[in-house]
Structure 1
Amino acid sequence: MLQNITIFMIVGMLCAPVTLAEEEQQPWLDSLHDSVTGSVNSTAVWLDDFFADENFNIDELPNGGARISLGWEPRSRDIMEFETKIRVKFNLPNLENQVDIVFSDFDEDLERAPVKAAQNEVLSTQNRFNLALKWTHPQSKDSVWSHRIGVGRKAQPYARTRYAARGEFSESQRYRWEISGYFYSQEGLGSHFGVQLEQDLADFSVMRLDNNFFFRDETNDWLWQHNLYAMQQLSDSSALITGIYLEGLSQPNYRIEEYLISSRWRKNALREWLYFELEPFILWRRDESFSASYGIALRVEGFFGDY
Structure 2
Amino acid sequence: MLKSEVKQILMRMYRKNTIKWLLCRLFFYFAFANSALADSTTDVSKSTEQENDHWMQGLHETVTNSVYQSAQWFDSFFIANGSEQQKPTTSAKIRLAWLPKSRDWSEVKPRFRVRVKLPHFQNRASIILSDESDDELSNLPLEVNDSKAALANDKFSLALNYTQDKRADRLLNYRLGISSGDLFVRAKHKRRLTVNDKQGFLIEPSIYYFLDDGLEAKLLLEYDYQISSQSLFRVNYSIRGAEAFSGIRWKHGFYKLKQINSTTASVISFQVEGERNGARGFVIDKYTLAYRYRFNAIRDWLFFEIEPFLEFPEQENYTTTPGIALRLEGLFHKG
State the alpha-carbon separation in 2 of the partners of residues 61 and 113 from structure 1. Answer: 29
Tell me which of 213, 225, 229 is aligned to 1:199. Answer: 225
User: Residues 29-71 of structure 1, C-alpha deviation per residue, up to 9 Å, x if partnerless?
Assistant: 111100000000000011011111114335x312321111110
Aligned to 2:317: 289
Aligned to 1:26: 53
Tell me which of 286, 302, 306 is aligned to 2:330. Answer: 302
Aligned to 2:248: 222
RMSD: 2.1
Distance verdict in 2 for CA 1:295–1:260, change over 3 Å: same
Return the TM-score normalized by structure 2. 0.82
Instruction: Tell me which amino acid in the other structure corresponds to 1:257.
Output: D
Tell me which of 301, 304, 307 is aligned to 1:276. Answer: 304
Aligned to 1:187: 213
Tell me which of 58, 61, 65 is aligned to 1:38. Answer: 65
Aligned to 1:132: 159
Distance verdict in 2 for CA 1:116–1:123, change over 3 Å: farther
Higher relative contact order (CA 8 A, sep 6+): 1
Aligned to 2:101: 75
* 1:267 matched to 2:295: yes
User: Residues 73-124 of structure 1, C-alpha deviation per residue, up to 9 Å, x if partnerless?
Assistant: 0101111111111111111222332210110122241442413315233443
Aligned to 2:12: none
* 1:86 matched to 2:97: no
* 1:54 matched to 2:81: yes
Unaligned residue ranges in structure 1 (runs of 5+): 10-20
Instruction: Tell me which amino acid in the other structure corresponds to 2:105.
Output: I
Instruction: Tell me which amino acid in the other structure corresponds to 2:156.
Output: F
The residue matched to 1:124 in structure 2 has which SS? coil
State the alpha-carbon separation in 2 of the partners of residues 147 and 229 from structure 1. Answer: 29
Aligned to 1:146: 173
Asked whether the 8 Å contact 2:144–2:269 carries over to 1, the reply is no
Return the TM-score normalized by structure 1. 0.89
Instruction: Tell me which amino acid in the other structure corresponds to 2:312.
Output: W
Distance verdict in 2 for CA 1:140–1:202, change over 3 Å: closer
State the alpha-carbon separation in 1 of the partners of residues 66 and 288 from structure 2. Answer: 39
User: Does 192-201 or 47-56 show the bigger shift?
Assistant: 47-56
Unaligned residue ranges in structure 2 (runs of 5+): 1-17, 29-47
State the alpha-carbon separation in 1 of the partners of residues 139 and 113 from structure 2. Answer: 11
* 1:243 matched to 2:288: no
Tell me which of 113, 119, 140 is aligned to 1:112. Answer: 140
Instruction: Tell me which amino acid in the other structure corresponds to 2:297.
Output: A
State the alpha-carbon separation in 2 of the partners of residues 73 and 22 from structure 1. Answer: 30
Asked whether the 8 Å contact 2:188–2:205 carries over to 1, the reply is yes
Count of residues in correspondence between the two structures: 291
Aligned to 2:31: none
User: Residues 140-170 of structure 1, C-alpha deviation per residue, up to 9 Å, x if partnerless?
Assistant: 4311101000100x21000000000112111
The residue matched to 2:63 in structure 1 has which SS? helix
Aligned to 2:186: 160
State the alpha-carbon separation in 1 of the partners of residues 139 and 54 from structure 2. Answer: 30
- The sequence identity of aligned pairs, in percent, is 28
Asked whether the 8 Å contact 1:195–1:211 carries over to 2, the reply is yes
